Amino acid sequence: MNNGQKDQIGLGVILILISTLGFSLYPILGKYVFSGGASLFTVLFFRSTIAALFFWIITISREGFPRLPLKIWFILWGMGGICYSLMAGLYLTSVRYIPASLAALLLYAYPIIVTIIAVLTNQEKFSKFKLFGLLLSTLGLVLVLGVAMNDINLLGVALALGSAFVYATYIIIGNQVLQTTTPLVTITLIATFSALTYGVLGLTLSEITWNLAWNIWLGIGGIAFFSTIIALLTFFHGMKLIGATSASIISTLEPVMTVIFAVFLLDEHLTLLQAGGGIFVVMGGILAVLSPVRNVIPVVGSSVSE
């Protein structure tokens, strides 16, 4: 390996770490803006709208207006307007009921769910790696939640696990779509359709909150800029340099970073058993990514559009 290749790998790792940092701040900033009176529809509408406008500028300047088959437009509408909107809504709503650190750990059940779906739909072969990863993640979730589920809001847990399931489905579909279009076009259209979904529903249900303090608007802007635009751009560029598998493994640091931020910024605390369970969940996901018999579905690292 020459110095140029080492520099590329080093840059790729740094970019994925920046991306992971941005994504890890998402639930932290979500709790902050919710405490200031922002509604879910307000946060996700402005987040998606700001991101979509930014990505459209880059897409048109670099690739021109996307010319895609009608089928791909409908699939991307389903990914952005339904899957991403539902996943983002479930995940962000979960932090209203459970700690941000717990929500982040539960979301990271998604690599194992991706593996199960891929195996059941014959897109991947089963292996000992996958079996061990599944068992390890299951044990981790039991430890994270606690056998008796004492003092844990069940609705919050259901929302976080629901977001993991929807996200897994989103990844399965997304990896197929990325074979026919570019990542930039994909995230641009997903953000656009998500903005339309939350805009229409928010205005129809009168759930868009306009009268917010300037610091809450800054928090929403932080979600749009750091946890969406910067996080997505650095992730995809980093993935080009080091590959999807390496990017996915590094991205498993996201819940770890979220836990650290939650402890210092939100005064949240996990028990020793929950912390150990979180490690098992992440390790199970890594084993699924490292499986030597992967076939079609490379697990995309954290949040193609989380």
Asked whether residue 295 is assigned to any structural domain, the reply reads no
| 274 within some domain | yes
Residue 298 included in any domain: no
* Confidence (pTM): 0.81
Q: Are 213 and 36 in contact (CB under 8 A)?
A: yes
Inform me whether the pLDDT recorded for 178 exceeds 70.
no
Q: How many domains does the chain have?
A: 1
Higher pLDDT, 285 or 267: 267
What phi, psi does 285 have (nearest 5°)? -65, -40
The CA distances from residue 192 to 37, 50, 67, 199, in Å, are: 25, 9, 16, 10
For 96, the token pair is 């209203």
How do residues 110-169 score in pLDDT, each as one tens digit? 877 877 777 777 766 667 776 777 778 778 777 777 654 556 788 999 999 999 899 888
User: pLDDT for 272-297, tens place per residue?
Assistant: 877 888 888 778 777 766 655 444 44
Task: Report yes or no on 179 lying in a domain.
Answer: yes
Tell me if 299 is assigned to some domain: no
pLDDT for the residue 228: 92
In a domain, 300, yes or no: no
The neighbour count for residue 100, using CB atoms within 10 Å, is: 27
| Cα–Cα distance, 34 to 24 (Å, whole number) | 17
* Residue 4: inside a domain: no
Range of the domain at 151: 10-290
42-61: per-residue pLDDT in tens? Answer: 999 999 999 999 999 999 99
Amino acid present at 94: S
Q: Which of 218, 259, 195 is nearest to 38 (CA)?
A: 218
pLDDT number for residue 291: 59
The whole-number pLDDT of residue 305 equals 43
Give domain status of residue 304, yes or no.
no
65: DSSP letter = S
pLDDT digits (tens, 9 = 90+) for 196-218: 999 999 999 989 988 999 999 99
| Residue 168 Cα distances to 171, 219, 247, angstroms | 5, 27, 17
What is 75-127 written as a DSSP string?
HHHIIIIIIIHHHHHHHHHHTTTS-HHHHHHHHTTHHHHHHHHHHHTTSS---
SS3 label, residue 182:
coil
* pLDDT recorded at residue 244: 66
- Highest-confidence segment of 8-22, 24-38, 118-132, 258-272: 24-38
Helix (H, G, I), strand (E, B) or coil at 297: coil
